[in-house]
């Protein structure tokens, strides 16, 4: 009775408190945000985040406007500058933003573009047929998130100028001179109050996207220049008359191709423009990049769906029409005909609809049929007119089909023997006790000696250890059946529990931290590269999810007597840190000595935990893939069959290497 009474009394008091709080919620608590205040209050809604990614997104919002001028047939050259003070300038030779009075606002049109959300020429008013921007909010959002932004419009023989401060008009539009130029120049300074993580722009990141835009917009010249002190050498100008055909050649420059020129399709239907370029190589993986209005559709969409369907159908129809495949034989699968394929798909749509978690998946249903029809017609004609090339494509698919069936048999045998099933984990795995993947970590450790230290030093509750012996198979040069026959790789697949390749299921991952822990020497670096190649080619979702890390064991230990007083981590400051720590411990009678750790096995279990595995003290590098095309090229260059690109890379970068005696 007492317990029931206490429960009823608690419920009554809780209800009274809720009713009181409900009464306090009135009109005075409804906030109305004026102008661009909403952007500054919730910037992530407009640019994704206020991290490094969001900072660079500002540049693309302005560049997209210049690209739209190019798509409309006016701009031919776009210039991007990282200024000496780390601000950004984007200039184009398009028509120039209108400067006449905009009827609805009573203000110059250029001012409306930079101070009013959803204002621009991209909403059916005849300004642009196709636009790269998603929401038409770019210019005003960049203005709102910048301490200052100024725009100069070269139009009608005059230079018009206006400046803004954090989205607010600083001064009225004015004429500052005469000119024979045309176009728009926008200069902005990101607001450190918004971008608290960093306001430093990454030249390589910007240059990679600028190159991509040049490929996607045939004939357009885009240049980027770094004016910051010591970085003035950073300058690139990109111009590709071949468009996406040049893009495919660029992606394949470290590979052996099956025929000389990429197969290219260009067509238009229902105001939707379609471009497709493909090439086949002697590799075992596919590279398909798709774009809609210059936006990289990482998650694919209806344009990829139409392309894949057409490719599979046309190749199978040709193979059977030429009796290469018999009528009663099974068709080649989509996976078979895409082995070794490099493809770029680019569509321009007057009203693109995006979906998916990151809004980078095209959802327009009509696009699948249009891409399917246009590409299928062109590919079918090409194969009939080029029978030798067509035969190479079909033969490549048939070899892939045989390898796929062999891999299927190997997988079934493997499951029976030692299993790719969770119920039969590899014997060398020292698993952890926790079953919560969000908390658990799998350390892939080079060598039995280091594996022993890691097993002894770890936290058994959430840290698992999987030792590997030597260098695993280079999967860049191997078929799936050979990959599955490799014990070390099989143990890793089994331990993760996710499957691999096309069957990979990230939701089954047993660990959300996959840590590569190798020696700080050449062999360790090679093993690390082999593992990263495996993850990128056959476990890519785990990389994209941010689950892969590289452990950073110390490179030096500072010892006073028999006691280690400090550890020095590898990196650009390692020599400076070493000298500082030596000076710090040189004040006593016993002079400090330096211990160089060349292998994980040189540290006991306590040291390995303290320096490399303790979550409170360790330093780990998270592996990310910000640009899939560049990552693909790097793996091909480092791990592929062609030696010449590697030799060139070594010759160009040898001056940066150091010899560790």
Strand pairing partners for 275?
Answer: 266, 346
pTM for the whole structure: 0.75
- How sure is the predictor about 37, in pLDDT bands with cuts at 50, 70 and 90? confident
Has 519 been annotated as catalytic? yes
d(CA 589, CA 661): 29
The pLDDT of residue 119: 64
Strand partners, 90: 80, 186
Q: CA–CA separation, 461 vs 157, rounded Å?
A: 73
- Of 282, 377, 481, 523, which residue is the catalytic one? 523
Q: What is the pLDDT of residue 12?
A: 66
* Helix %, strand %, coil % of the chain (to 5): 40, 20, 40
Percentage of the chain with pLDDT > 90? 49
What would the mean pLDDT of 497-519 be, rounded to a whole number? 86
Distances from the Cα of 660 to the Cα of 230, 522, 598, 608, 657, angstroms: 28, 10, 9, 22, 10
pLDDT at 226 over 60: yes
Read off the tokens for 464.
């698992």
**Confidence bin at 420 (pLDDT 50/70/90):** very low
Tokens of 207: 């240059």
Distance (Å, whole) CA 319 – CA 334 = 14
**Percent of residues, the chain, with pLDDT higher than 70:** 83
Q: pLDDT band at 406, cuts 50/70/90?
A: confident
CB 557 within 8 A of CB 597: yes
| Helix (H), strand (E) at residue 445 | strand 441-446
Given a contact cutoff of 8 angstroms between Cβ atoms, the answer to whether 149 and 62 are in contact is: no
Catalytic one of 521, 602, 605, 626: 521
Dihedral angle sign, alpha carbons of residues 251, 256, 257, 261:
positive
Q: Say which CATH architecture domain 39-239 belongs to.
A: 2-Layer Sandwich (3.30)
Q: Read off the pLDDT of residues 555-590 as tens digits, 9 standing for 90 and up.
A: 888 988 888 888 888 777 888 888 888 888 887 667
Name the residue among 387, 93, 365 with its Cα closest to residue 222. Answer: 93
What whole-number distance in Å separates Cα of residue 45 and Cα of residue 90? 24
Q: pLDDT tens, 117-152?
A: 866 555 444 556 666 654 445 899 999 999 999 999
Question: Across residues 11-36, what is the average pLDDT?
Answer: 57
Look at the chain and count its residues.
661
Which bin fits 333, alpha (ψ -120 to 50), beta or left (φ > 0)? beta
Predicted local distance difference test score (pLDDT) of residue 518: 87
pLDDT, the chain, mean: 85
d(CA 60, CA 242): 23
Residue 447 structure tokens: 């060598």
The 3-state DSSP class for residue 661 equals coil
For 307-339, write each residue's pLDDT tens digit.
Answer: 999 999 999 999 999 999 988 888 999 999 999
pLDDT classification of 95: cutoffs 50, 70, 90: very high
Q: So what's the architecture of 244-406 in CATH? A: 2-Layer Sandwich (3.30)
6 is catalytic: no
Can you name the residues that pair with 556 across neighbouring β-strands?
568, 596
Could you report the per-residue pLDDT of 288-299, keeping only the tens digit for each?
A: 999 999 989 988
611-624 pLDDT tens trace: 899 999 888 888 88
Residues 575 and 571: their CA atoms lie apart, in Å, by 9
| Rounded Cα–Cα distance for residues 558 and 565 (Å) | 6
The burial class, CB within 10 Å (0-12 / 13-18 / 19+), for 600 is: buried
Q: Average pLDDT for residues 403-412, to the nearest whole number?
A: 74
Q: Is the pLDDT of residue 49 over 90?
A: no
Quote the CA–CA distance of 95 and 74 in Å, as a whole number: 6
pLDDT of residue 661: 38
Contact present, 288 and 296 (Cβ < 8 Å): no
Beta bridge partners of 162: 151
Please report, for the chain, the start and end positions of each structural domain, with discontinuous segments joined by +. 39-239, 244-406
Q: Residues 294, 297, 299, CA angle at the centre, nearest 5°?
A: 180
Name the more confident of 591 and 653. 591
Tokens of 118: 């959803």
What residues pair up with 277 in beta bridges, in sequence order?
A: 264, 344
Q: Is 523 a catalytic site residue?
A: yes
Q: Does the structure show a pLDDT above 90 at 398?
A: yes
Q: Of 446, 581, 610, 636, which residue is the catalytic one?
A: 446
Per DSSP, the residues of 114-153 read: HHSTT-SS-SSSSS-SS-S-SSS-HHHHHHHTEEEEEEEE
Identify the active-site residue in 275, 431, 519, 632.
519
Q: What is the 3-class SS of 149-213, one letter each residue? A: EEEEEEECCEEEEEEEECCEECCCCEEEEECCCCEEEEEEEECCCCCCCCCCCCHHHHHHHHHHH
Averaged pLDDT, 220-240: 94
Concerning whether 521 is annotated as a catalytic residue, the answer is yes
Beta-strand relationship, 183-190 and 287-292: unpaired
Predicted confidence (pLDDT) per residue in 509-518, tens digit: 999 999 999 8
Calpha distance 403→283 (Å, rounded):
13
**Pairing outcome for strands 295-296 and 221-226:** unpaired
Instruction: Let me know: does 248 contact 262? Beta carbons within 8 Å.
Output: yes
Average pLDDT of span 165-181: 94
Nearest to 68 by CA among 128, 2, 1, 147: 128
Question: Which long-range contacts (C-beta less than 8 Å, at least 24 apart) are formed by 330-333?
Answer: 332/394, 332/397, 332/398, 332/400, 332/401, 333/401, 333/404
Q: Are 494 and 529 in contact (CB under 8 A)?
A: no
Give the pLDDT of residue 277: 98
């Amino acid at each position: 009775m007492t317990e029931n009474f206490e429960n009823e009394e608690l419920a009554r008091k809780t209800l009274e408190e809720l009713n009181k709080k409900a009464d306090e919620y009135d009109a005075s608590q409804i906030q109305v945000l004026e102008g661009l205040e909403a952007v500054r209050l919730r910037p992530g809604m407009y640019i994704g985040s206020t991290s490094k990614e969001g900072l660079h997104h500002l540049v693309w919002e302005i560049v997209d406007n210049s690209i739209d001028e190019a798509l409309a047939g006016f701009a031919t050259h776009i210039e991007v500058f990282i200024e000496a003070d780390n601000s950004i300038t984007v200039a184009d030779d398009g028509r120039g933003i209108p400067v006449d009075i905009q009827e609805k606002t009573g203000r110059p049109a250029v001012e409306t573009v930079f101070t009013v959300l959803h204002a621009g020429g991209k909403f059916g008013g005849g300004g642009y047929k196709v636009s790269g921007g998603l929401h038409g909010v770019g210019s005003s959002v960049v203005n709102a998130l910048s301490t200052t932004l100024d725009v100069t419009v070269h139009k009608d023989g005059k230079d018009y100028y206006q400046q803004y401060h954090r989205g607010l008009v600083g001064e009225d539009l004015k004429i500052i001179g005469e000119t024979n130029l045309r176009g728009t120049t926008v200069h902005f300074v990101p607001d450190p109050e918004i971008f608290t993580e960093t306001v430093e722009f990454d030249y390589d990141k910007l240059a990679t996207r600028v190159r991509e835009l040049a490929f996607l917009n045939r004939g357009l010249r885009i240049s980027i220049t770094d004016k910051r002190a010591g970085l003035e050498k950073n300058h690139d100008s990109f111009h590709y008359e071949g468009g996406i055909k040049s893009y495919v050649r660029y992606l394949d420059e470290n590979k052996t191709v099956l025929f000389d020129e990429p197969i290219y399709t260009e067509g238009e239907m229902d105001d939707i423009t379609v471009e497709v370029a493909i090439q086949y190589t002697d590799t075992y993986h596919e590279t398909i990049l798709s774009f809609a209005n210059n936006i990289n559709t990482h998650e694919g969409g209806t344009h990829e769906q139409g392309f894949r369907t057409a490719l599979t159908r046309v190749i199978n129809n040709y193979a059977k029409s030429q009796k290469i495949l018999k009528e009663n034989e099974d068709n080649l699968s989509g996976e078979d005909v895409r082995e070794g394929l490099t493809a770029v798909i680019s569509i321009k749509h007057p009203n693109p609809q995006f979906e998916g978690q990151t809004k980078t998946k095209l959802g327009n249903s009509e696009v699948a049929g249009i891409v399917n029809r246009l590409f299928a017609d062109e590919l079918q004609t090409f194969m009939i007119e080029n029978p030798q090339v067509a035969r190479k494509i079909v033969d490549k698919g048939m070899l892939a089909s045989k390898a796929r069936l062999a891999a299927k048999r190997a997988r079934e045998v493997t499951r029976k023997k030692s299993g790719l099933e969770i119920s039969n984990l590899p014997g060398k795995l020292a698993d952890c006790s926790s079953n919560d993947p969000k908390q658990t970590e799998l350390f892939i450790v080079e060598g039995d000696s280091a594996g022993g230290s890691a097993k002894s030093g770890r936290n058994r509750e959430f840290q698992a250890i999987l030792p590997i012996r030597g260098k695993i198979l280079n999967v860049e040069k191997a078929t799936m059946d050979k990959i599955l026959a490799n014990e070390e790789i099989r143990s890793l697949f089994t331990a993760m529990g996710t499957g691999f390749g096309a069957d990979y299921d990230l939701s089954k991952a047993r660990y959300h931290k996959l840590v590569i822990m190798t020696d700080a020497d050449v062999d360790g670096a090679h093993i690390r590269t082999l593992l990263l190649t495996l993850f990128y080619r056959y476990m890519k979702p785990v990389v994209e999810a941010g689950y892969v890390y590289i452990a950073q064991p110390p490179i030096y230990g500072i010892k006073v007597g028999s006691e280690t007083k400090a550890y020095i981590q590898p990196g650009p400051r390692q020599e400076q840190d070493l000298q500082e720590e030596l000076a710090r411990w040189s004040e006593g009678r016993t002079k400090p000595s330096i211990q160089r750790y060349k292998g994980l096995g040189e540290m006991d279990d306590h040291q390995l935990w303290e320096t490399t595995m303790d979550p409170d003290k360790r330093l780990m590098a998270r592996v990310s893939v910000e640009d899939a095309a560049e990552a693909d090229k790097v793996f091909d260059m480092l791990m592929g069959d062609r030696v010449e690109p590697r030799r060139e890379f070594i010759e160009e970068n040898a001056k940066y290497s150091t010899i560790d005696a």
